[in-house]
Amino acid sequence: MGKVSILIYITVAVLILFLISYSPSKPSNHRHRRLKLRSNFTFSHQVRPHHDPVPFDPIVADLELRREDRQWERQYMEHAHPELVQHESDSAPGAESQPEWEDFADAEDYLNDEERFNVTNRLVVLFPRIDVDPADGFVTEHELTQWNLQQAEREVMHRTQREMDVHDKNKDGFVSFAEYEPPSWVLNADNTSFGYDMGWWKEEHFNASDADGDGLLNITEFNDFLHPADTKNPKLLRWLCKEELRERDTDKDGKVNFKEFFHGLFDMVRNYDEEGHNSSHQFDDSMEAPAKKLFAQLDKDGDGYLSDVELLPVIGKLHPSESYYAKQQADYIISQADGDKDGRLTLAEMIDNPYVFYSAIFNDDEDEDDYEYHDEFR
């Protein structure tokens, strides 16, 4: 059965490619859109950075991660071993470091060489890898969400492994709290800086991430430590609730009253439910009634305040996981490429709208604007 499905895919794909190649209809304007590798890495990140969409194509993801690794290595040396960087600079005064985008100029040339990287051919190859549940010739929202999630988890784990290689000083495959060093922006910050007072890099956070309680973090636990929004560890979820309460508790009484809930937390929950994840909504009297209803639902003991435990039912909305963003990305792609509006994608629809899938990494030379689909659902 599997061989038959593959044969059908190949036959349909060849037929579609043939029809596209010889169709007298509208000419292709794809090649004026140059693919460019993104460069978003920085050590000066916030605890909850802006969430960029992941590359749809694993080849593009690999190229971007290779570039990011180079940037990370360069900046890590500047932060962790500035004396070595200075010595290297002093020993070669005439030498200047090349701009990082030149490091992978060849990679961008590769992406824009239709003989070596043909977007249509890539979609033909990727389609059966996405259309798996079931393999019926259509890509559904669920299948595309799962694909996006797989790519996101792969990127996240790559970065986690990179960090673990640095912090695992004795190379035993685990990170102890003594081995862990907070990011430089924490070390250089005062006690009022965002993230410092919250305890994101303190021992309580480390211990909550230690699911088996052995005093060490394995790769899974360390990944949860760096990305608590994606954890299933009850201890870490409870810690996340405590930190959320600490941040929102403006009068410092150890709990959240309705005013503190309404001006912040409720807006985040509402935006999550509306799938806009946009904190620009204005508060007005019309929102107070639904806010009071939700507050009452969460306030299990009816004391008029929310404890950290009472925040548990909505912590996933306050800190959206990769699954949330993967679904957002899938919804946007389908809304743009679904020609017959049946809520799913055929191979022909994907081929007819290739840059919906690659829009995070190309710009249009005609109007010099970047086409980044995450702007649509930021």
Q: What is the pLDDT of residues 151-187, one digit of tens each?
A: 999 999 999 999 999 999 999 999 999 998 766 555 5
Q: Which residues of 330-345 are buried (b: 16+ CB within 10 A; e: fewer)?
A: bebbbebbbeeeeebb
Q: What is the mean pLDDT of residues 126-143?
A: 97
304 Cα distance to chain centroid = 36
- Cis previous bond, 128, omega within 30: no
Distances (CA, A) of 246 to 49, 224, 249, 274, 319: 19, 20, 5, 26, 15
Residues sharing a CB contact under 8 Å with residue 335, sequence separation 6 or more, in sequence order = none
Give the Cα separation of 112 and 108 in Å (integer): 6
Q: What are phi and psi of 362, to 5 degrees?
A: -125, 155
Residue-level pLDDT at 296: 98
Token pair 């019309």 is found at 286
User: Has residue 121 got a pLDDT over 70?
Assistant: yes
Instruction: Give CA separation, 230 vs 40, 169, 281, in Å.
Output: 21, 26, 26
Q: Is residue 108 over pLDDT 60?
A: yes
Q: What angle do CA 21, 373, 350 make, to 5 degrees?
A: 30
**DSSP-derived secondary structure letter, 338:** -
pLDDT score of 10: 60
Model pLDDT for residues 279-297, shown as the tens digit of each residue: 455 555 678 999 999 999 9
Length of the chain: 378
Residue 360 confidence (pLDDT): 53
pLDDT at 277: 45
pLDDT in the model for residue 372: 38
The pLDDT assigned to 156 comes to 95
With residue 245 as reference, give the H or E element that holds it: helix 234-248
For the chain, the farthest-separated pair of C-alpha atoms sits apart, in whole angstroms, at 72
Tokens read off for 329:
């990305």
Number of H helices, E strands in the chain: 17, 7
In the prediction, which pLDDT does 14 show? 57
- SS3 category, 255: coil
Average pLDDT of the chain is 79
Q: What is the mean pLDDT of residues 19-44?
A: 54
